[in-house]
Amino acid sequence: MAEGSGSVDRIDAERALDEVERRRRQIIAEVSIPAWYWWGLALAWIGLGVVAVAAPGWAYVLATVGFGAAHAALAPHVIDGRHGSRQLTVRTDVVSGRTSMFVIGFLVVLVVVTVGIALVADALGAAQPALLASAIVAIIVLIGGPRLLALVRHRAEKRVAR
């Protein structure tokens, strides 16, 4: 850059733009849901399967309602993707407001999958169809949850690049 001239040479401009792009990608990489959320969700899913097998029906209903209430209280603070780490809160205009919708939709699909697997397992004569279904869905949560957020980050990349 020529001193005092107020102009920026091409190389300095390219370096500055490269740095802006690098920082933008850093911010988008922070779009996430904490790992403890997925682990807690998976363990709760298995817990519900255990309650379905080991407890009376009323206890299962109570556990399901309790799980739903606890999730409803916690989820709004976690599933928006803006608080993946304590280091940074990503601005709303970087993260789609649809992140929470994607996660809730994922959970609704998982409920349907759980019921479907349990019904099929029961029809096939599995010993503990509810527990089997909840364990399979817990694995899906641990694998699929982070992959869902990878999709959200990819969409954020495309949106910001426009």
pLDDT above 90 covers a percentage of the chain that reads 41
Determine, yes or no, domain membership for 12: no
Cβ count within 10 A of residue 153: 20
Nearest Cα neighbor of 103 from 25, 43, 28, 32 is 32
State the pLDDT at residue 63. 93
Q: Tell me, yes or no, whether 19 lies in a domain.
A: no
3-state helix, strand, coil in the chain (%, to 5): 75, 0, 25
Tell me, yes or no, whether 26 lies in a domain: no
User: How many angstroms separate the Cα of 77 from the Cα of each of 74, 89, 101, 119, 153?
Assistant: 6, 12, 13, 34, 18
136 φ, ψ to 5°? -65, -45
Range(s) of the domain holding residue 57: 31-161
- The pLDDT value recorded for residue 148 is 84
- Taken as a whole, the chain contains a residue count of 162
Residue 93 is predicted with a pLDDT of: 56
Per-residue pLDDT, 154? 76
Give domain status of residue 153, yes or no: yes
pTM of the full structure: 0.72
- Determine, yes or no, domain membership for 120: yes
| Percent of the chain surpassing pLDDT 70 | 76
At 89 the three-state DSSP class reads coil
Flag whether 8 is in a domain. no
d(CA 144, CA 59): 29
Question: What average pLDDT does the segment 37-58 reach?
Answer: 94
- The whole-number pLDDT of residue 149 equals 78
The answer to whether residue 147 sits within a structural domain is yes
Query: Where is mean pLDDT largest: 29-33, 41-45, 80-84, 145-149?
Result: 41-45
Average model confidence (pLDDT) across the chain: 81
* 15 within some domain: no
Domain count, the chain: 1
